[in-house]
Amino acid sequence: MNAAPSDPHGHAKQTFVVRHNRFILFAVLALSLGGVYSAFHMPSSVFPQTDFPRVVILVDNGVMPADEMMATITRPIEEAMKDTPGSLSIRSATGRGSAEVNVFFRWGTDMVQAELYVRSHLSQIANELPPTAGYQVQRLTFSSFPIIGVSLTSKTRNITELWEMAEYQVKPQFLRITGVARVDLVGGREPEYHVVIDPAKLDARHLTAAQVCDALNKTNLFVPSGMHEENSQLYLTLVDGRAHSTKDIGDIPVAFPDDTPVCIRDVASVVKGAAPKYNIVTADGVDAVLLNVKSQPDGNTMSIAEALNTEMAALRGQLPPDVRMAFFYDQSVFVREGVRSVWESIFFGVLLSVAVMYLFLRSASTTLAAVVSIPATLLITMLGMRVLGMSFNLMTLGGIAAAIGLIIDDAIVVVEAIHTKVGQGHPPSEAVRLAMGEVGRALVGSTITPVVVFVPLAYLDGVPGVFFRALALTMVCSLLVSLLLAVTLIPTMGVMLIRQGTVAALVRRGARLGRTVQVYEWTMRRALRHAALMMLMLCLVVGGAVGLYLRLDSDFLPTQDEGVFFFKQKTAY
pLDDT at 565 over 80: no
Q: What is the pLDDT of residue 15?
A: 57
pLDDT at 67 over 80: yes
Model pLDDT for residues 281-308, shown as the tens digit of each residue:
888 888 889 999 988 877 888 888 889 9
Amino acid identity of residue 211, one-letter, is Q
Model pLDDT for residues 316-329, shown as the tens digit of each residue:
888 888 889 988 88
pLDDT at 188 over 60: yes
Interval 522-550 mean pLDDT: 90
Model pLDDT for residues 12-41, shown as the tens digit of each residue:
444 567 777 888 889 999 999 999 998 888
Q: What is the pLDDT of residue 509?
A: 53
Model pLDDT for residues 406-461, shown as the tens digit of each residue:
788 888 888 888 877 877 777 878 888 888 888 888 888 888 888 888 888 888 87
Cβ atoms of 170 and 152 closer than 8 Å:
yes
Q: What is the pLDDT of residue 501?
A: 54
Q: What string of DSSP letters covers 290-355?
A: EEEEEE-TT--HHHHHHHHHHHHHHHHTTS-TTEEEEEEEEHHHHHHHHHHHHHHHHHHHHHHHHH
Q: What is the pLDDT of residue 91?
A: 92
Q: What is the pLDDT of residue 14?
A: 46
Q: What are phi and psi of 222, to 5 degrees?
A: -135, 100
Q: What is the pLDDT of residue 33?
A: 93
For residue 406, count other CB atoms closer than 10 A to its CB: 18
Cα separation, 153 vs 149, whole angstroms: 13
pLDDT at 160 over 60: yes
pLDDT at 570 over 70: no
CA dihedral sign of residues 402, 407, 408, 412: positive
Q: What is the pLDDT of residue 568?
A: 63
Q: What is the pLDDT of residue 566?
A: 63
Q: Which residue has the higher pLDDT, 363 or 386?
A: 386
Cα separation, 148 vs 170, whole angstroms: 14
Contacts for 504 with CB less than 8 Å, ≥ 6 apart = 423
Interval 388-408 mean pLDDT: 82
**Rounded to two decimals, what is the model's pTM?**
0.71
User: pLDDT tier at 494 (50, 70, 90 boundaries)?
Assistant: confident
**How much of the chain, in percent, has pLDDT values that exceed 90?**
12
Interval 184-213 mean pLDDT: 88
User: pLDDT tier at 393 (50, 70, 90 boundaries)?
Assistant: confident
Model pLDDT for residues 76-92, shown as the tens digit of each residue:
999 888 888 888 899 99
Least confident of 32-36, 115-119, 436-440, 462-466: 462-466
Cα separation, 471 vs 477, whole angstroms: 10
Q: Is 100 helix (H, G, I), strand (E, B) or coil?
A: strand
Cβ burial, residue 105 (10 Å; 0-12/13-18/19+): buried
Average pLDDT, the chain: 83
Q: Which residue has the higher pLDDT, 554 or 80?
A: 80
User: pLDDT tier at 6 (50, 70, 90 boundaries)?
Assistant: very low
pLDDT at 258 over 90: no
